[in-house]
């Protein structure tokens, strides 16, 4: 075995043992547990080199070594053996998710399944409006001077607003305007709709122009991407079992409450076909310095629209977690495709 390959094998063994035991790993333990084919002295030399390269560290004198963020990163980048789902896990995910009745139910079931499979905190991002298309725009008469605007996207997302009108409106005008809006907006990407809506008042009959002008502000509010998107969390109770990994739980909980932090990390996965892993300081958030985030986007019609992920300690089973995050993301995409 070449020196570089052997060093990687030693690093892999240290990471795997530390994940399994949460104890610093010494050279004797590596010799006893792993068939590395070299002496304890050689392993000690390799460990010294790995430490000089910043891949492992000694938490205190006379202790073994633990992986650093850089060590975890190299381990993940060289990870080739993703632990596949068992047949029982595949059946459980399929049965659990396929009973969902709408988008909210799909994502709620997905976040619960992922939390149970990984024993970490799971997070699922709703399909982002900017990557969705208009399926239908409904105008519902609440009263003669009040309408409800309901947007339904191709991802199953539903947004609604109430509009108070300055004067009574008749049902035929509402019906005609509904037809006009759907003819112009159906199947259009939401990113294109503001320009279409802003031009419509000058293209409709006079009796509809005033009503449409009143509705324009609300239509744009519904159609334009909100500043903060939506997501679901599950499995936060799993943090209580990880106090050794998170000596300070409070910063992690605060980061979870700041949803913009996780949404930023998830959004990076939407346009990527790979499972992304951010370790420690790679999350770019001080409260997650002891954490890792594993995420994967889910697709509709071949384009990324949202993401699912897991937040856990840096000392997580990456091979196990990455496979399960990817699997749940595929299931969510498949279910949206079938609707």
* CATH class held by domain 87-128+229-338: alpha beta
pLDDT tens-place string over residues 14-41: 999 999 888 899 888 888 888 888 888 8
As a whole number of angstroms, the distance between CA 93 and CA 76 comes to 25
Domain borders along the chain are: 3-77, 87-128+229-338, 130-223
Give CA–CA dist 159/199, Å, rounded. Answer: 22
Mean pLDDT for 194-217 is 82
Distances from the Cα of 36 to the Cα of 79, 169, 310, angstroms: 18, 80, 32
Q: Candidates 1.10.238.10, 3.40.50.800, 1.10.10.10, 3.30.470.20; correct CATH number of 3-77?
A: 1.10.10.10
Q: Are 64 and 8 contacting, i.e. CB atoms less than 8 angstroms apart?
A: no
Q: Specify the pLDDT at position 245.
A: 77
CATH code for residues 130-223: 3.30.390.60
pLDDT tens track for 272-318: 778 999 999 999 988 898 899 999 999 887 888 889 999 999 999 99
Q: 241 or 53, which is more confident?
A: 53
- pLDDT band at residue 227 under the 50/70/90 scheme: very low
SS3 at position 194: helix
Percent with pLDDT over 90 in the chain: 33
Selection from 136, 142, 201 nearest residue 171 by Cα: 142
Distance of CA 44 to the CA centre of its chain: 40
Fold agreement (87-128+229-338, 130-223): no
Q: Please tell me the distance from the alpha carbon of residue 91 to that of residue 88, in angstroms, as a whole number.
A: 5
Q: Residue 189 gets which letter from DSSP?
A: B
């Amino acid at each position: 075995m070449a020196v570089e390959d052997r060093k990687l094998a030693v690093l892999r063994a240290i990471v795997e043992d530390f994940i399994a035991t949460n104890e610093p790993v010494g050279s004797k333990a590596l010799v006893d547990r792993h068939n590395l084919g070299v002496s304890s002295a050689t392993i000690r030399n390799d460990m010294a080199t790995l430490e000089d390269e910043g891949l492992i560290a000694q938490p205190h004198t006379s202790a073994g070594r633990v992986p650093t963020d850089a060590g975890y990163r190299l381990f993940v980048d060289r990870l080739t053996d993703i632990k596949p789902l068992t047949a029982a896990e595949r059946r459980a995910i399929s049965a659990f998710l396929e009973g969902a009745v709408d988008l909210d139910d799909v994502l709620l079931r997905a976040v619960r399944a992922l939390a149970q499979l990984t024993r970490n905190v799971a997070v699922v991002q709703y399909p982002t409006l900017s990557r969705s298309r208009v399926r239908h725009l409904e105008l519902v008469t609440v009263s003669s001077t009040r309408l409800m605007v309901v947007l339904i996207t191709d991802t199953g997302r539903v947004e609604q607003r109430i509009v108070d009108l300055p004067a009574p409106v008749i049902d035929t005008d509402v019906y005609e305007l509904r037809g006009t809006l759907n003819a112009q907006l159906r199947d259009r990407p939401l990113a294109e709709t503001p320009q279409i809506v802003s031009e419509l008042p000058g293209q409709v009959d006079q009796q509809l122009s005033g009503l449409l002008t009143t509705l324009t502000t609300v239509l744009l509010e519904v159609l334009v991407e909100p500043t903060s998107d939506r997501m679901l969390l599950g499995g936060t109770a799993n943090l209580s079992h990880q106090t050794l990994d998170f000596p300070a739980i409070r910063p992690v909980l605060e980061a979870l409450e700041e949803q913009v932090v996780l949404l930023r990390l998830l959004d990076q996965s939407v346009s990527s076909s790979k499972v992304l892993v951010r370790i420690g300081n790679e999350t770019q958030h001080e409260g997650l310095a002891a954490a890792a985030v594993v995420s994967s986007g889910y697709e509709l019609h071949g384009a990324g629209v949202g993401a699912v992920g897991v937040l856990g300690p840096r000392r997580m089973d990456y091979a196990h977690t990455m496979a399960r995050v990817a699997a749940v993301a595929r299931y969510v995409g498949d279910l949206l495709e079938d609707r």
